């Protein structure tokens, strides 16, 4: 599991080591890790010798790390330039950099464009402007320089220089992921000691590019470490959460998912959710809804048990309500009954309107940003879509605390939050999954995992997450399976959602291949 901490938590972990006089050693470890990532990027694109690197060097230790790393690159035959962005630059690092042949330029009132052109022509830019000591957005002449580099070099993907962020892209709030001013979007980030929470979520996750965590011995993964601000499940964690069929199982012990989804108007959502739930692995799907929708489901999935009855008569371990259930008062009633049943329930799409003021963490809300705007607005908390997208972890957590529900907020990163405060952020998806019906399959996967987890007491402990975070972890596992299934599908071309169940099955097979 990837664990991410706030800048303050990382600084606190550094304190005893700094007090013990290990500051310089920590910086060398950080610089070595940064150098190794830079060398890897350059080797993949033609090697180091004869190529050029520009360091944007701020006045703090972040600039020091970047200068030490660039000195190593210079010793391997690279042309290295540092742009000093502050009167005083880390003196020891600067001395080593110049001794290795690095050139120093200073940002002045009238050389912004010339320096931006230098950056745009380089093979690699190392962003060492600000790290964990940052407060607020980039401002003044440094902000102007970053704007000019962005204008001259072009956007990531089109531009010539690769950008490597030292500890994090400067201008990203390393706690929330929010970006208030200019930022140089990185192709990769080398972050020291532990991932920073703002690099796993929101605008910060987009700006960070490929994340490399460099261990510098801060001890943030040992038992005495504080709880991480954000977690990210890896394959082994999803495997630990997944309930494997046991020898004595029958269909009821494996989990029965009740689905009240779809309507005469939108029958497809119910078919997609059912297919995804079956592919995830479950004892049975019981479908409740219009007869015509049940017939359609059975034409594709004959194993689903379909009826037009109510929630109380359909024994299930968990419910999924909402996808495609538009303009159908019967489905709305089933949604309300499921939400108040006390069983785990995935509440998607239109059923979000049926959620009472407070519920328990076994109720899992699955809005996208637009739906969360409406949901919070209806509870007297006006918010914009942009604000949610810039800092999704914050809003997912606020919603979880406000309602008592678990929240899965869909987006570039899918964030899940428990009312007890734990947050997960998954970045498994591909933009090819942004297509109609995709959310219905995510809801189906989550419904199946929830039904299996309902009777699986040790699930959270197996995955090493606090019991209060069980449903948020299960929701994060659903996002992982969905995202990776989408990636597999995208290898064959644009994703067609009705093809996803085959890929979901393959991802689950990958989970089962992880040793117990
Ligand atoms: N403290 C440690 O033990 C270690 C720190 N390391 C590096 O040191 C970094 C933290 O170093 P520092 O504490 O020196 O802080 P930073 O290097 O992040 O920068 C702080 C400096 O920037 C200025 N500043 C803050 N916000 C600004 C803004 N919005 N615009 C312009 N200037 C601003 C401050 O006045 C201060 O001079 C980490 O991110 C990491 O890169 C690593 O070398 C590993 C060890
Ligand atoms: K930085």
The answer on whether 414 is annotated among ligand-binding residues is yes
Domain boundaries, the chain: 2-232, 235-512
CB-based contact 167:175 (threshold 8 Å): no
Helices (H), 347-412: 369-377, 385-390, 392-403
Edge to edge, the sheet with strand 162-166 lists: 103-106, 79-84, 52-57, 124-128, 162-166, 188-192, 210-214
To test ligand 1's pocket by mutation, which of 11, 24, 58, 145 has the most ligand atoms within 8 angstroms of CB? 58
Between the CA of residue 472 and those of 29, 43, 202, 238, 263, what are the distances in Å?
35, 40, 18, 12, 28
Indicate the pLDDT class of residue 84, thresholds 50, 70 and 90.
Answer: very high
Cβ-count burial of 268 within 10 angstroms (0-12 exposed, 13-18 middle, 19+ buried)? middle
Provide the pLDDT for residue 203: 94
Does the structure show a pLDDT above 80 at 223? no
pLDDT tens per residue across span 251-276:
999 999 999 999 999 999 999 999 99
Give the Å distance between the CA of 65 and the centre of ligand 1.
10
Give the Å distance between the CA of 130 and the centre of ligand 1.
5
pTM: 0.95
Distance separating alpha carbons of residues 244 and 294, to the nearest angstrom: 28
Distance separating alpha carbons of residues 200 and 163, to the nearest angstrom: 18
Mean pLDDT computed over 219-227:
84
**Of 220 and 67, which is predicted with more confidence?**
67
Cβ-count burial of 108 within 10 angstroms (0-12 exposed, 13-18 middle, 19+ buried)? exposed
Give the Å distance between the CA of 445 and the centre of ligand 1.
43
Tokens of 27: 């910086």
Residue nearest to atom 15 of ligand 1 (CA): 133
Provide the pLDDT for residue 260: 98
| Termini Cα distance of the chain | 16
pLDDT tens per residue across span 209-221:
999 999 999 989 7
As beta bridge partners, residue 423 has 417
Give the Å distance between the CA of 1 and the centre of ligand 1.
27
CB-based contact 100:71 (threshold 8 Å): yes
Give the Å distance between the CA of 17 and the centre of ligand 1.
17
Tokens of 458: 């040790």
pLDDT tens per residue across span 94-121:
999 999 999 999 999 899 999 999 999 9
Provide the pLDDT for residue 224: 78
Residue nearest to atom 36 of ligand 1 (CA): 60
- How many residues can be counted in the chain? 516
The answer on whether 223 is annotated among ligand-binding residues is no
C-alpha torsion 366→369→375→380, nearest 10: 140
- Any idea which architecture 2-232 has in CATH? 3-Layer(aba) Sandwich (3.40)
pLDDT tens per residue across span 338-384:
999 999 999 999 999 999 999 999 999 999 999 999 999 999 999 99
Evaluate: CB of 413 within 6 angstroms of ligand 1: no
As beta bridge partners, residue 125 has 54, 163
The answer on whether 251 is annotated among ligand-binding residues is no
Question: Rounded to an integer, what is the distance from CA 193 to the centroid of its chain?
Answer: 19
* Domain 235-512 -> CATH class: alpha beta
**b/e per residue, 281-319, with b = 16+ CB within 10 A?**
bbbbbbbbbbeebbebbbeebeebebeeeebeebebbbb
pLDDT tens per residue across span 444-453:
999 999 999 9
Question: Backbone phi, then psi, for 310, in 5-degree steps?
Answer: -105, 170
Quickly list DSSP for 292-323.
Answer: HHHHHHHHH-TTSEEES--TTTS--SEEEE-T
Evaluate: CB of 168 within 6 angstroms of ligand 1: no
Mean pLDDT computed over 155-165:
93
- Identify which of 278, 283, 276 has the alpha carbon closest to the alpha carbon of residue 255: 283
Provide the pLDDT for residue 439: 97
Provide the pLDDT for residue 16: 95
Does the structure show a pLDDT above 90 at 157? no
The answer on whether 64 is annotated among ligand-binding residues is yes
CB-based contact 290:306 (threshold 8 Å): no
Cβ count near 121 (within 10 Å): 13
Averaged pLDDT score across all residues of the chain? 96
CB-based contact 254:282 (threshold 8 Å): yes
Evaluate: CB of 167 within 6 angstroms of ligand 1: yes
- Identify which of 8, 11, 4 has the alpha carbon closest to the alpha carbon of residue 229: 4
Mean pLDDT computed over 189-217:
97
Provide the pLDDT for residue 304: 98
Quickly list DSSP for 208-268.
Answer: H-EEEEEP-S--TTSTTSPPPSEEE--HHHHHHHS----TT--HHHH-EEEEE---SS--H
């Amino acid at each position: 599991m990837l664990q991410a901490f706030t800048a303050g938590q990382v600084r606190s972990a550094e304190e005893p080591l700094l007090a013990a006089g290990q500051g310089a050693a920590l910086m060398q470890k950080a610089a070595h890790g940064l150098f190794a990532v830079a060398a890897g990027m350059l080797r993949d694109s033609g090697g180091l010798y004869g190529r050029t690197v520009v360091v944007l060097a701020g006045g703090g230790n972040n600039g020091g790390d970047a200068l030490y790393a660039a000195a190593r690159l210079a010793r391997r035959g690279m042309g290295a330039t540092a742009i000093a962005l502050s009167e005083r630059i880390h003196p020891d690092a600067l001395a080593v950099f110049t001794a290795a042949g690095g050139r120093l330029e200073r940002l002045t009132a009238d050389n912004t464009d010339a320096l931006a052109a230098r950056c745009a022509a380089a093979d690699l830019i190392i962003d060492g402007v600000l790290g964990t000591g940052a407060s607020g957005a980039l401002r003044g002449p440094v902000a102007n320089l970053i704007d000019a580099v962005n204008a001259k070099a072009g956007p990531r993907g089109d531009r010539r220089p690769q950008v490597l962020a030292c500890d994090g892209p400067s201008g990203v709030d390393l706690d929330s992921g929010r970006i208030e001013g200019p930022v140089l979007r990185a192709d990769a980030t080398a972050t020291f000691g532990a991932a920073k929470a703002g690099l796993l979520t929101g605008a910060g996750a987009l700006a960070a590019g490929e994340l490399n965590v460099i261990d510098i011995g801060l001890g943030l993964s040992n038992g005495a470490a504080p709880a991480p601000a954000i977690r990210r499940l890896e394959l082994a964690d999803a495997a630990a959460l997944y309930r494997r069929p046991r020898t004595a199982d029958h269909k009821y012990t494996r989990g029965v998912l009740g689905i009240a989804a779809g309507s005469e108007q939108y029958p497809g959502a119910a078919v997609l959710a059912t297919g995804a739930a079956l592919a995830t692995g479950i004892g049975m799907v019981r479908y409740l809804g219009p007869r015509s929708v049940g017939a359609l489901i059975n034409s594709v999935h004959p194993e689903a048990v379909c009826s037009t009855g109510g929630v109380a008569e359909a024994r299930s371990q968990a419910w999924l309500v909402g996808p495609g259930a538009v303009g159908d008062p019967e489905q709305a009633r089933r949604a309300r009954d499921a939400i108040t049943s006390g069983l785990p329930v995935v509440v998607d799409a239109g059923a979000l309107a049926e959620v009472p003021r407070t519920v328990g963490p076994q109720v899992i809300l699955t809005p996208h940003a637009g739906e969360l705007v409406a949901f919070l607005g209806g509870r007297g908390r006006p918010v914009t879509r942009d604000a949610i997208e810039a800092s999704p972890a914050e809003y997912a957590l606020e919603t979880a605390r406000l309602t008592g529900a678990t929240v899965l907020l869909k987006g570039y990163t899918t964030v899940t939050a428990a009312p007890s405060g734990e947050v997960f952020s998954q970045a498994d998806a591909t933009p090819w999954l942004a297509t109609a019906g995709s959310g219905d399959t995510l809801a189906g996967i989550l419904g199946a995992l929830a039904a299996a987890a309902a009777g699986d007491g040790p699930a959270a402990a197996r995955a090493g997450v606090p019991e209060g975070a069980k449903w948020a972890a299960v929701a994060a596992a659903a996002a992982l399976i969905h995202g990776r299934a989408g990636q597999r599908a995208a290898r064959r071309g644009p994703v067609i959602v009705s093809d996803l169940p085959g890929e979901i099955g393959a991802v689950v097979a990958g989970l089962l291949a992880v040793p117990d």
